[in-house]
Structure 1
Amino acid sequence: MNVDAPCRVLVVDDNPFIRSGLTLALEASEEIEVVGEAGDGRRAVELARELVPDVILLDVRMPNVDGIAAAAVLSEIGRVIMLTQVDDPEVVLAAVRNGAVGYLVHNTFTPGELAAAVVETVRQRAHPLSQAASAALIDAARTDRATAPAAVDPAEQRKRFGLSEREAEVMDLIAQGHPNSTIAAKLFLTEKTVKNYINRLYAKLGAPNRSTAIVTWLGMPPRG
C-alpha cells in the first residue's frame, strides 16, 4: 500500500455498540479509514472481497460464521487481528493457525494503542499480541509439553533452529510476551537491532509472525 494513504480497516463484531465504538476510536486517527462494518463472519467475507481492506478487526464469537472460521478466508485478503473478550488458549491458537497475525483482548489497550497497532500491522508488518493472548499461547504450549512423551530441551531447541545464544535470549523474551522496547532495554540493545534479530528468528523458525514464532519455539506440534 501507499505509505501515505490511510490504513483501510474492516470492523467485524456482532455487537453494534462495540462496532460503533471501535469505528469512532479508529477514525480519530488520520492514519486510519474504516471502510466497512460487519456483524458476522459470513458478511465479513463478502465485504472483505468487495472492499479489500488492509486490516480486518475480527471478533471470535459471532452468528452464522464465527471469527475463527472466518479468519482462514479473511487472512488471504488482509491482515487479520482478532479483537475479542475471549482469551481461551485453544481459541488463541486456533486463530493463529487460521492466519491471524495478531490477537488483542478487550480492556487491555487504549484507543490510541489500538490505532497504533493497526497502523504498525500494515506499515511495519507488526504482530500485535496482548499480554493475555501471549500468556494463553504460553500456557497452551506448556500443557502440550507436559503431556508430550518427552519435554523439549531449550538447548536442543536452540541447536535445532541454529540460533546463536543472543538470538535464543531474544526469542525467550518474545515468548514471555515482552514488546521490542522492553527486550531492547533488558539486553542493552537498540530497538532496530532487536527488530533485526526478530527478522532472523522468523526466518530460522519458519514463522510468519510473532505469535507463530512463540508456538514454534515452545515446541508445540503443528495441528491441521
Structure 2
Amino acid sequence: MTVRVLIADDNPVVRIGLTSLLELEPDIEVSGEASSGPEALALAEEHRPDIVLLDVRMPGGGGLDVLPRLAEIARVLMLTYTDEPAVVSQALREGATGYLVHGSFDSHELAVAIRDTAAGGVRLSPPAAAVLLQGMPAAPAAGEGAAAANGGPPTGVDPEAVRRYRLSRRELEIAEQIVLGHTNSEIAQHLFIEEKTVKNHINRLFAKVGATNRSAAVALLLGLREDA
C-alpha cells in the first residue's frame, strides 16, 4: 500500500529536503506541499492524504491553528524544531498522532515513522515523550525484577509494559532513561556504567520489546502502542 503524504512547512529548503528523501521510498508518495496551515488544510481537503507532516509555526497561520480540522481528514505527524512542553502537549491534545523534533531522527526513522503512523501507531521523539511523561502519574512497577518491588524509585514506564516484557531492574532503569529522552552518554553518567554497557542494554531492551529505534521503544514503554 502506498502512503500518501502532505508536507506542511514554511521553509522551502525543508520541504524540498523532505520530498527528496521520501521520493526514495517506494511505498511513500508526496501528494502536496504547503507553506502555511490554511494552505495545508485546503490541500488536505482536496487530495485526502494519509499523513500530514505538520510544522508548528508558519507565517500566515501555523499548524496548531488548523490541527483539529486536519486531524479529521488525515493522521497528523508533527514535524518541527519546537520542543516546548506547552506546544507538544497542545498538539497531542488537539489531535496529532505523533510528534517528531528535527535532529532526533534520521531519514530511515522518518520513513518508518510515517509507515507506522499510517498503520495506526504513535511516534514520539524522546523530547516529546518526556513532555508526555511529565503529565503522567508515577506508578510503582510490578513484575520480575521491577525497581519498585525492591523499594526503587517510581517510573513513568507503563506498569503493564513492565509486566508484558518482563523487564529486569536494570532494563527498567534503562527504559526510564530512554523515555526521559536521555542520550547514551547521559544514561551512562546517571547509572555509573560504561557507555558501551548502555548500548548493550539498549540493544537487548529493543529486542525484548520489539522496537527498532528509540521513538518506537518510547511508544511501547509508555503503553501508547502494543507490539505486533
State the TM-score, normalized to the length of structure 2.
Answer: 0.66
Q: 2:15 is paired with a residue of what secondary structure?
A: helix
| Aligned residue among 133, 141, 146 for 2:135 | 141
Give 3-state SS (helix, strand or coil) of 1:34's partner: strand
Residues 120 and 126 in structure 1, CA contact (< 8 A), matched pair in contact too: yes
What secondary structure is seen at the aligned counterpart in 2 of 1:133? helix
The answer as to whether partners of 1:184 and 1:191 remain within 8 angstroms in 2 is no
Is 1:126 aligned with 2:121?
yes
Q: Supply the distance in 1 between the matched residues of 2:112 and 2:165 (Cα, whole angstroms).
A: 28
Q: What is the CA distance between 1:136 and its match in structure 2?
A: 2.7
Q: Secondary structure at the match of 1:9?
A: strand
1:109 and 2:94 matched:
no
- 1:33 aligned counterpart, secondary structure: strand
Hey, what's the Cα distance between the residues in 2 that align with 1:89 and 1:31?
33
Choose which of 46, 51, 59 in structure 1 pairs with 2:47: 51
CA distance in 1, matches of 2:140, 2:77: 33
- 1:59-104 CA-partner distances (Å, limit 9, x unpaired): 0001222111221111111110000000001100000001111100
Letter in structure 2 aligned against 1:130:
S
How big is the shift at 1:131?
1.1
Post-superposition offset of 1:40: 0.4
Higher relative contact order (CA 8 A, sep 6+): 1
CA contact (8 A) 1:69 1:98 kept: no
1: CA distance, partners of 2:131 / 2:159: 27
Determine the C-alpha separation between the residues in 1 that align with 2:163 and 2:8: 40
Question: Quick one: which of 5, 8, 30 aligns to 2:4?
Answer: 8
**Long gaps (5+) in structure 1:** 143-151, 203-208, 211-224
SS in 1 for 2:58: coil
What percent identity do the matched residue pairs reach? 40
1:158-169 map, 5 Å: 166=163
Matches within 5 A, 1:170-185: 173=175, 177=179, 185=204
Pick the aligned partner of 2:84 from 73, 76, 88.
Answer: 88
Do the aligned residues in 1 keep the contact of 2:139 with 2:159 (CA within 8 Å)?
A: no
Separation in 1, partners of 2:65, 2:204: 38
Over the residues paired in the alignment, what is the CA RMSD in angstroms? Answer: 3.6
Q: Specify every segment of 5 or more residues in structure 2 that has no aligned partner in the other structure, as ranges.
A: 142-153, 181-200
CA distance in 2, matches of 1:165, 1:18: 38
Contact 1:135 1:176 in 2 (8 A): no
Whole-angstrom distance in 1 between the partners of 2:106 and 2:14: 14
Corresponding position of 1:71: 67
The aligned counterpart of 2:19 is 23
More helix by share: 1
Structure exhibiting the larger radius of gyration computed from Cα positions = 2
Once the 2 structures are TM-superposed, how far is the Cα of residue 153 of structure 1 from its aligned partner? Answer: 5.9
Q: Alpha-carbon deviation of 1:187?
A: 9.4
Which portions of structure 1, spanning 4 or more consecutive aligned residues, are displaced by more than 6 angstroms? Answer: none
- Once the two structures are superposed, what CA deviation does each residue of 1:119-164 show, in whole Å capped at 9, x if it has no partner? 12113x22111112112333x427xxxxxxxxx562599xxx9969
CA deviation vs aligned residue, 1:43-67 (integer Å, no higher than 9, x gap): 1111101111000000000122211
Rate the CA distance shift 1:78–1:184 in 2: closer, same or farther, 3 A. Answer: farther
Distance in 1 (CA, whole Å) between partners of 2:6 and 2:82 is 20
User: Judging changes above 3 Å, is the alpha-carbon distance between structure 1 residues 153 and 102 closer, same or farther for their aligned structure 2 residues?
Assistant: closer
**TM-score normalised by structure 1 residue count:** 0.67
